[in-house]
Amino acid sequence: MKHTSTVGKSNKTVLVLLILGLSTIAFPLYMTIVIAFKQPSEMTNSISGILSLPKTWSLDNFREAMEVTNFWHSLRNSLLISVLTVGLSIILHSLMGYALGRNKAHSKFYSFVYLFIVSGMFVPFAILMMPLAKQTAELGLANWAGVIILYVVFYMPMNIMLYSGYLVNIPMALEEAAKVDGASTWTTYWKIIFPIMSPMHATVAVITALAVWNDVMTPLIIMAGSGENTLPLAQLNFQSQFGTNYNLAFASYLLSLIPILIFYLICQKQILNGVTNGAVK
């Protein structure tokens, strides 16, 4: 952890570059916030008009957006689906990633299963929509539980890739040491491998949660007609071909951004912990 003077200098350059890059994010964010506070009658096509601050900083848009989307109820559904999907993904996908990652190099069967599942990632969703709508209904899964199962399947290919990629850098020696102590593969996994992969768990959690949080299509076709909404589904109410209330929509999107941002900030600490844990090597 020693720094040489050259590192210090280059870090300043890095900092400056990062701040410059930040403007590409700050500007859209500024626009989002300003529009979320404005009234429809403040919308114009002139640049100065759109960049100006709202006349009043009233929270009315947010209040109305919460009412229109039935915010707390939709939030609960979204949270439930996201949390369960992430939990199941971490448990099931890491196991599968472990089984495949440890074997695919020397076993034809496992390498086939790996490629088979990973290629599932490339199935265009549109072709699955109709059959899935039918199948989930037949199985009595046209509800949030069905949505979760589908998510666990949809994100399996990507997460398995991530987990087995991570395993490449985890030495076999760790497992062998445990084996010598008489531990079974199953316990070795939970006691040693699973905790070591925690940076990857955090990464998977972030990526999966984000994809689930913003997804419209799956709940739209699976939960259609059940009367239940997730946040993105409820947010569809703001837009239609003939009229979109951008002000309410932006307020609502800002609101739904907060939980996932907090989640990310928690997880990204975990992503970093990998090194300080010192478990690798």
Partner 1 sequence: MKNDRQRTFLFITIPILALFVCFNTIPLIRGVVYSFTNFKGFGKYDWVGLRNYIDLFSDARVGKSYLFTIKLAIVTTIVVNVISLVLALGLNSKIRAKGFFRGAYFLPNILGSLVVGYIFNYFFTYILPAVADMMGIRSLSTSILSSPSKAWIGVMIVCAWQAIAMNTIIYISGLQTVPEDVYEAGGLDGATGWKQFRHLTFPLIIPFFSINMVLCVKNFLMVFDQIMALTKGGPAQSTESISYLIYNNGMSGGQFGFQSANAVVFFIVIVIISVAQMKFSSSKEEQL
Partner 2 sequence: MNGKRLKCLGMALCCMAATVPLQGCGASSDKIEIEIVQYKPEAANYFKTVEDEFNATHDTIHLTISSPNDAMTILKTRFIREDYPDIIGIGGDINYSYFVDAQILADVSDYKGLQDINQGYLDIAEALELVPVDGTYIVPYVANAAGILYNRDMFAEHNWAIPETWDELIQLCESIQAEGILPFYFGFKDTWTCLAPWNAMAVELSPSDTTKQVNRGETTFVQEYRELSEKYLGLLPYGPDDPFAYGYNDACTAFARGEAAMYPIGSYATPQILSVNPDLNIDSFVMPASDNKEDRTLNSGIDLGFCVMAECENKEAAYEVLDFLLEYENMQKYIDAQNAVPCKNGDFKLASMLDGMLTFINEGNMTDYQDHYYPSEMSVDALLQTFLLQKDVDSFLTTFDTNWQRYNRDIIRLVQEYEQAH
Chain contacts with partner 2 (rule: CB under 8 A): 40-41, 43-45, 80, 83-84, 87-88, 91, 129-130, 133-134, 137, 142-144, 190-191, 194-195, 220-221, 224-228, 236-237, 239-246
Report which DSSP code applies to 225: T
d(CA 34, CA 231): 22
With CB under 5 to 8 Å by kind, the binding choice for 85 among partner 2, partner 1, none is none
Binding mask 54-93 for partner 1 (x = CB under 8 A): --------------------------------------x-
Which residues, other chains included, contact 173 with Cβ-Cβ below 8 Å and sequence gap of 6+? Answer: none
3 near partner 1, judged by CB under 8 A: yes
Q: State yes or no: residue 145 binds partner 1 (CB under 8 A).
A: no
- Under rule CB under 8 A, which residues in 231-260 are in contact with partner 1? 232, 235, 238-239, 244, 246, 249-250, 253, 256-257, 260
Residue among 8 and 243 whose Cβ is closer to partner 2: 243
Q: Which is nearer to partner 1, 56 or 114 (CB)?
A: 114
**Of 45, 181, 225, 242, the one binding partner 1 by CB under 8 A:** 45
Distance CA 81, CA 79 (A): 5
Instruction: Give the residue from 216, 94, 218, 214 showing the smallest Cα distance to 148.
Output: 218
Q: How many residues does the chain have?
A: 281
Q: Which of 72, 108, 173, 184 binds partner 1 (CB under 8 A)?
A: 184
Find the part of the chain contacting partner 1 (CB under 8 A) among 60-68, 69-77, 79-87, 100-108: 100-108
CB of 125 to partner 1, least distance (A): 8
Distance CA 183, CA 175 (A): 9
- E strand or H helix at 9: helix 5-37
- Amino acid identity at 220: L
Q: Are 61 and 248 in contact (CB under 8 A)?
A: yes
Show Cβ contacts of residue 163 under 8 Å, excluding neighbours closer than 6 positions. Answer: 93, 94, 96, 97, 98, 101, 197, 200, 204
Beta carbon of residue 198, minimum distance to partner 1 (angstroms, whole number): 10
Question: Nearest Cα to 215, choosing from 202, 195, 233?
Answer: 233
Among 68, 87, 120, 192, binds partner 1 (CB under 8 A): 120
- Residue from 57, 169, 173, 243 binding partner 1 (CB under 8 A): 169
Structure tokens that stand for 102 in this block: 């440890």
> Which of partner 1, partner 2, none interacts with 87 (beta carbon under 5 to 8 A by kind)?
partner 2
Q: Does 99 bind partner 1 (CB under 8 A)?
A: yes
Return the closest-CA partner of residue 101 out of 162, 185, 179.
162
